[in-house]
Structure 1
Amino acid sequence: MKLSFNEATTLKNSNLEKDLELCEKLGYDYIEIRTEDKLPEYLEHHSIEDLADYFRTHHIKPLALNALVFFNNRDEKGHEEIIHEFKDMLEKGKKIGIQYIVAVPLVTEEKILKKDIKDSCVKVLTELSDFAKPYGIKIAVEFIGHPQCTVNTFSQGYDIIQAVDRDNVGLVLDCFHFHGMGSSLEDLRKADGSKIFILHIDDTEDFPIGFLTDEDRVWPGQGVIDLERILTTLKEIGYSGVVSVELFRPEYYQLDAEETIKTAKETTLTVVSQYFEIETAGVK
């Protein structure tokens, strides 16, 4: 298993250029690039070709563009915007060599029937799958463990990707989101490990199910998520993808970016290496 850094972890105390420099220095293999803020900021002073050149000449590689946000149950205008954004992500992603585009389901206070959520997700993901196929880029759907997300449990997300039934459509399993709405380990145990494209590692403070927010995340191994059982189950079902550390902790944004990225790696390796062999490039 190889190690990735998700840029949310340094959202307020770094930028893409600095994240790349530090992740290269500290021996990460991959990076998930934030498309809502850090990539646009980078492109104000650089080109996408500059970014491609960086990856060609350094060890660290781009894992994913994160994220295509709120892709399902949109009105006609909203759907057109999603398609336009996705096509742009495919073009940029092809130039820099990404493997995945992370797709996040709609978060809304509107009550939508589960059947209508599933129908919309399947329809849109099938359309996106067709667009992505010539590019060789896969779509990693990330269920969000919060009551207002339209897809908020592992079982619901897995049911949707099974219905889509495309080789280039799978899931992100974020341990925080898995815990956040009480997803079932039995459901995970029944899953095909090859349909989980990315593992997000994190931990959380001990709040009740349904009340957790991203800011409650803490370093892996320093919270209440049953990471042992999640990781053991992933190993049992043959998961062999990348582990990507993703935190949104306000206190961690007050740290120096290098300290944040270094501690994220150390805490991740301490937990994950008990269950998977981790191959990293080492510290320069």
Structure 2
Amino acid sequence: MISRRNVIKSIGLGSGLLFSSNLIQASPKVTESEFRYCLNTSTIMGQKPGLKGYLEIAAKAGYDGVELWIRDLQEYIEAGNSVNSLRMLIRDHGLTFENAIGFAPWMVDDASKRKAGFEQMEREMGLLADLDCHRVAAPAFGVDAPLDLFQAGERYKNLLDLGRKIGVMPQLEFWGAFPHFYHLGQVLMVAAVADDKDARILPDVYHLFRGGSGYEGLKMLSGNLIEVFHMNDFVMHIPREEQQDKDRVYPGDGGAPMQQIIGDLKAMGGRKVLSLELFNPDYWQQDALTVAKTGLEKMKSLVTNVVGT
């Protein structure tokens, strides 16, 4: 059990709120970030290309890796395909399985539901390990009341312990429109309470805007806290509180300060996976390969403008 007294002492509430070194920079950085490019298959899920189609499109478009949804993996296997054949299929397309998207209720207050959520996570992590994927998104799915962030931190610590045992590490995710876990400050609190060297968060351009976090907080984070960063943008003509996932646009096509965001990610150090995650129904009406290529070109252009060639 993690005591509140120890957490308060560790984050230095009496001396300027200094988080642990995994969260906030304490010294100048020596190396800058390296970027890899990833396709989250939500971007083209409306075209329904199927799992093989997702991989073929991502490879043809020129991505380094993919973020796949666990439900798609399960459907593929339930259709009679083997886990080994799927692992080889990903490898044969020259892709890295960077992260998986799942929805296990591991953070909820209800003990029986939480137990089921951890059991679901364990099964899904086992599948991902067999597919050579070593990360999984860990959102606050199923939470239906205000969170005690200390308790949430303890649960995240337990989830990290489970991940280490299996070899698949949970990336703590927050959703900007979710009423109970929507702000960068909340996710940093939970990560700090976990007090674990393997704590990681999964930010998103849209969610940082939608939840009111803004982008200045990224300057406070050290490189190893972020491994995957969801890329997209928000539109200017819809009020922030009314924007939805479907309103996301290509990175650089909206109002986000993309040069600042890329610059801060670059300055952090460490390897960063920039993953294009869109749910735009207008893009779903277009050719999937064209959409995937367009998104990759826009991400690479943004990085080139900041980092250079």
Structure showing greater radius of gyration is 2
TM alignment of 1:6-85, pairs within 5 A: 6-13=40-47, 14-36=49-71, 38-45=72-79, 46-85=81-120
Structure 2 Cα separation of the partners of residues 168 and 189 of structure 1? 20
Question: 1:177 aligned to 207, 227, 248, which one?
Answer: 207
Alignment of 1:5 with 2:36, yes or no, is no
User: Residues 29-68 of structure 1, C-alpha deviation per residue, up to 9 Å, x if partnerless?
Assistant: 11011113x2222223312111112233331010111123
SS in 2 for 1:218: coil
User: What's the secondary structure of 1:167's corresponding residue?
Assistant: coil
Using the TM superposition, give the Cα deviation of residue 164 of structure 1 relative to its aligned residue in structure 2, in angstroms. 0.8
Question: How far is the alpha carbon of 1:144 from its aligned partner?
Answer: 0.7
CA distance in 2, matches of 1:229, 1:111: 34
CA offsets per residue over residues 63-104 of structure 1, 9 Å max, x none?
111123443124123112211211111111111111211111
In the alignment, which residue of structure 1 is the partner of 2:247? 216
- The Cα offsets for residues 119-158 of structure 1, whole Å up to 9 and x where unpaired, read as 3321221111111112332211111111x33221112111
* SS, match of residue 31 in structure 1: strand
Contact 2:105–2:113 at 8 Å: present in 1 too? no
CA–CA separation in structure 2 for the residues paired with 1:176 and 1:154: 12
Match of 2:218 among 166, 175, 188: 188
Partner residue of 2:132 out of 93, 97, 109: 97
In the alignment, the residues of structure 1 paired with residue 308 and residue 142 of structure 2 have an alpha-carbon distance, to the nearest angstrom, of 36
- Partner of 2:68, secondary structure, is strand
Secondary structure at 2:172 match in 1: strand
Q: TM-score scaled by structure 2?
A: 0.82
Distance 2:160 2:179 in 1: 22
Alignment of 1:189-208 (within 5 A): 189-206=219-236, 207-208=238-239
**Unmatched segments (≥5 aa) in structure 2:** 1-34
Q: Where do residues 241-260 of structure 1 align in structure 2 (5 Å cutoff)?
A: 241-260=272-291
1:107–1:150 CA contact under 8 A, matched in 2: no
Displacement after TM superposition at 1:8 (Å): 0.7
RMSD (Å) for aligned C-alpha atoms: 1.9
Q: Which amino acid aligns with 1:57?
A: D
Query: Is 1:240 aligned to residue 274 of structure 2?
Result: no
Do structure 1's residue 125 and structure 2's residue 156 form an aligned pair? yes
Partner amino acid, structure 1, of 2:198: N
* Local SS of the residue matching 2:302: helix
Distance 1:156 1:276, change over 3 A: farther
Which letter maps to 1:138?
A: M
Residue 168 of structure 1 aligns to a residue whose secondary structure is coil
Question: Is 1:155 aligned to 2:157, yes or no?
Answer: no
Conservation of the 8 A alpha-carbon contact between 1:73 and 1:120: no
What's the TM-score once normalised by structure 1's chain length?
A: 0.89
Unmatched runs of 5 consecutive residues or more in structure 1 = 279-284
Say which SS state the counterpart of residue 75 (structure 2) adopts.
Answer: helix
Asked if structure 1 preserves the Cα contact closer than 8 Å seen for 2:153 and 2:194, the reply is yes
Structure 1 residues 139 and 201, CA gap change in structure 2 (3 angstroms): same
User: Aligned in 2, Cα 1:122/1:73: closer, same or farther, shift over 3 Å?
Assistant: same
**Are residues 253 and 26 of structure 1, via their aligned partners in 2, closer, same or farther at CA, if it must alter by over 3 Å?**
same
Cα distance change, pair 69–227 in 1 and its aligned pair in 2 (3 A): farther
Contact persistence 1:106–1:149 (CA under 8 A) = no
Kept in 2: contact 1:185–1:233 (CA 8 A): no
Say if 2:55 and 2:90, in contact at 8 Å, map to a contact too. no
Tell me the amino acid that sits aligned with residue 179 of structure 1. Answer: F
List, as ranges, runs of 4+ consecutive aligned residues in structure 1 with deviation greater than 6 Å: none
Aligned partner letter, 1:212:
Q
> What is the distance in 2 between the residues matched to 1:276 and 1:78?
45
TM superposition shift of 1:261: 1.4
| Partners of 2:285 and 2:209 in 1: CA distance | 26
Question: Conserved in 1, the CA contact under 8 Å of 2:104 and 2:121?
Answer: no
